[in-house]
Chain A
């Protein structure tokens, strides 16, 4: 069975401060990991995926298979980063496999 754990339900930081949203996973096979973001009153959208190894909006995430983690980081948070962030996992092999989401972390960036 696949499981995604986001230990922090709420995270509040000040503008310009570093931010790290934690994500741990449990899966016996080879996983694909994703971070999705949901801004207020908007649909869920993909922020980044581990296979792309890219930085989006200043965010990065590194898959650590030893620690089974995929933490999302940004060195300097901005107010517009305030949103709900979901970590998600799916088995490697294709987009037709189901995603398993964590419970989400609500990030608030204060001015």
Chain B
């Protein structure tokens, strides 16, 4: 089956630093990747939709300058949390949709990245 990986799986950083999270589709090409944020025991909140070769589309209330998304290839999207603060601590999850699209194609989810900002 299709596999999506994320790196790192967890990261601890100091307040004010920037952190980059990678999302890779390992065995398929993904024209679209999605970035979610999940608070403990809560649902996934979509942050942005990332399309290969174009600018990401951010959901209302998500600061695009704070959460920089780059989708430079069909297998890699990155999320950079700039000038991180403790309130950015969360579980970040990406998902990827195969390039072929279509109703029967599902989104495949990565394992998530736990970010802790001290």
Contacts and interface: CB of A to CB of B under 8 A. Distances in A.
Interface in B63-118: 93, 95, 97-98, 101-107, 109-112
Contacts of B34: 98-99
B49 A43 contact: no
Nearest to A90: B107
Nearest to A100: B46
Given A96-B32, A98-B34, A44 B93 contact: yes
- Summarize B's interface: helix, strand, loop or mixed: loop
A101 B44 CA distance: 7
Interface range, A side: 20 to 34
A45 interface: yes
A23 interface: no
Nearest to A86: B43
B43 A102 contact: yes
Contacts of B25: none
Contact of A103 (B43, B49, B109): B43
A27 to B, nearest CB: 15
Contact of A95 (B43, B93, B97): B97
B103 A51 contact: yes
Interface of A: 32, 34, 42-46, 49, 51, 86, 92-96, 98-104, 106
Interface of B: 31-32, 34, 41-44, 46, 49, 93, 95, 97-98, 101-107, 109-112
